[in-house]
Structure 1
Amino acid sequence: MKNNGARTRSTLGLVGFLLVLVAALGAQAQPPSSKLPGRKPDSREPWGAFLGKAAHEVIGREYSVQHPTNVVFFDTVDLYGIVGKGKLGNPKRLPELVKRLRPDITDTVALVLFEIKPDDEESRREGRKQAGRYLAALNEVAEPDKKLTGGTGFEGTVFLEFENGGALWKLSWRTPEPGVTLYRWSYRRKKPGASWEERVAQKEEELPREEVEQRGELAGQALRAAYEGGEHPKGFQGQVYLPADCR
């Protein structure tokens, strides 16, 4: 009877774990609704989700800029594709329940992985768990000389200045622990005629919702143009300062 009870509890525990994992996989497997930082004017997507996608896009692009010769995969490619295309090992060895998971940034040359999250403690813990799960799955099938670790030392800042001395948006990110990159959006009020040093020294505030509503799509287009070397979008009279400019 004791053995039967123990087996029952074990079975129930396993079923519960699998249900949670399947739910997580379902969420991970959904394709992103937008690949660009811009937002459609009639979009019903929550503002927090929009800003998160914008941050993921910029941070991913910046990683590619900093590592132009590396083979880098983003969250549009699952673990099965990463192992196969990145030549890490045999992707067929990945369990069915994990092969569709999609890390935010995986570099199969530097053999590092990053999970991108908002800069708060709850998100940081979630990022730590997800990065650990991805690394465990990848390293289970990777060849001995191709094991991955959590990436470190990845940080940066992007500024968008609207008009001359207009509102100044800032996206910054840091990697405080291996594999977890945290980002934060912030805002400085307009100050016409101020020098760049004066702008940066201004009080940093939370990005107001009305600012995002008014300038979100334009900001996304401007960021995309800056990384692709194109012209500023129509209606954007300001400047984009990428990490290379800030340095």
Structure 2
Amino acid sequence: MKERATKTRSTWRLAGFLLVLGVALGAHAEPPSSNLPGRKPDTSEPWGAFLGRAAHEAIGRQYRVQHPTHAVFLDTVNLSTIVEEGRLGDPERLSKFARRLRPDITDTRALVLFEIKPDNEDGRKEGRAQAGRYLAALNAAVEPHKQLSGGTGFDGSLFIEFENGGALWQLSWRTPEPGVTLYRWSYRRKQPNASWKERAAQKEEALPREEIEQRGGWVEQALRAAYERGDWPSGFQGQVYLPVDCR
């Protein structure tokens, strides 16, 4: 009896240790987060997700700028709405799950679709798989003469200059295969008395973490202001150079 009680206590101690260890490991497994300037003070969104969202919005807006007469749906619109408002077919043919899917860019005039992902091998694979799923779901619901395919030939870049002569960030994107658009952020160091085009010609570098934490919070708001020709976000003292400025 005494031996059984000893074993029971040992089992509970081991379980407690494993629980604490699991919590500790789980805490370290969380993605890095940051409280960036220009954002809500209580946010803890990982910077990668934050800059990814900014890239998605800018690239989607740029596609619309380049195709002003097309019906272009971005990632806030689901397949059911795309099929109905794009006059592609009957949205009732979509499964209940497929109706809620939201491709990154769908052009119902050109009948093409793009999925936007980070420019790495995992991003490319994920983009290919997602674009394929969206196309399969859409093409099962649209009219035979309105079948969609993966879009091609969509590439570009833009620059964000901080502090009128400070650091220069670049967002660039390419479409290496149908339906998959890959983006990446890069950085040019501060160079006094040099124009932004002179600094853009410098060798690009990966964005340092401290640079992201210092200036990243303005990116999404500054890009939105540039495309909408609105006011710059509070505290932002730079300039945005859209693709039309980079020619």
* TM-score band, normalised by shorter chain: 0.7 to 0.9
Q: Where has structure 1 moved over 4 Å in runs of 4 or more?
A: none
2:156 — aligned with what? 156
Match of 2:73 in 1: 73
> CA offset at residue 42 of structure 1?
3.0
1:198-218 deviations in whole A, cap 9, x for unaligned?
Answer: 302222111122222221222
**For 1:125-136, what aligned pairs fall within 5 Å after superposition?**
125-136=125-136
> How many pairs are equivalent?
210
TM-score (structure 2 length as normaliser): 0.81
Please state whether the residue corresponding to 1:45 is helix, strand or coil. coil
TM-score, normalisation: structure 1: 0.81
Identify the residue that residue 213 of structure 2 maps to in structure 1. Answer: 213
Question: Are the aligned partners of 1:188 and 1:199 in contact in 2 as well (CA < 8 Å)?
Answer: yes
Distance (Å, rounded) in 1 between the aligned partners of 2:233 and 2:136: 43
Question: In 2, distance between residues paired with 1:225 and 1:190?
Answer: 23
**2: distance between equivalents of 1:84 and 1:74?**
15
Distance 1:208 1:51 in 2: 13
- 1:148-178 Cα deviation digits (max 9, x unpaired): 0100011111101112320000000000100
Deviation at 1:127, TM superposition (A): 0.5
Q: Deviations over 1:47-106 (max 9, x none)?
A: 110111010010011111111111111111111111111110000011223221111110
Corresponding residue number in structure 1 for 2:122 = 122
Distance in 2, Cα, partners of 1:65 & 1:41: 33
| CA deviation after TM superposition for structure 1 residue 45, in Å | 0.6
Distance 2:168 2:214 in 1: 13
- Other structure's SS at 2:240 match: strand
Cα distance, 1:235 vs structure 2: 2.4
Q: Deviations over 1:90-124 (max 9, x none)?
A: 00011223221111110111110000000001110
1:232 aligns with 2:242: no
Structure 1 SS opposite 2:101: coil
Structure 1: 5+ residue stretches without partners: 1-37
Mapped to 2, the partners of 1:186 and 1:134 lie a distance apart of 30
Structure 2 distance, partners of 1:221, 1:102, is 23
1:144 corresponding residue in structure 2: 144
**What CA distance in whole angstroms lies between the structure 2 residues aligned with 1:233 and 1:99?**
36
Counterpart in 1 of 2:104?
Answer: 104
Q: CA RMSD in A?
A: 1.4
Counterpart of 2:146, as a letter, is K
Aligned letter for 1:234?
Answer: S
Question: In 2, Cα distance between the equivalents of 1:104 and 1:194?
Answer: 36
Partner of 2:172: 172
Letter in 2 for 1:140: A
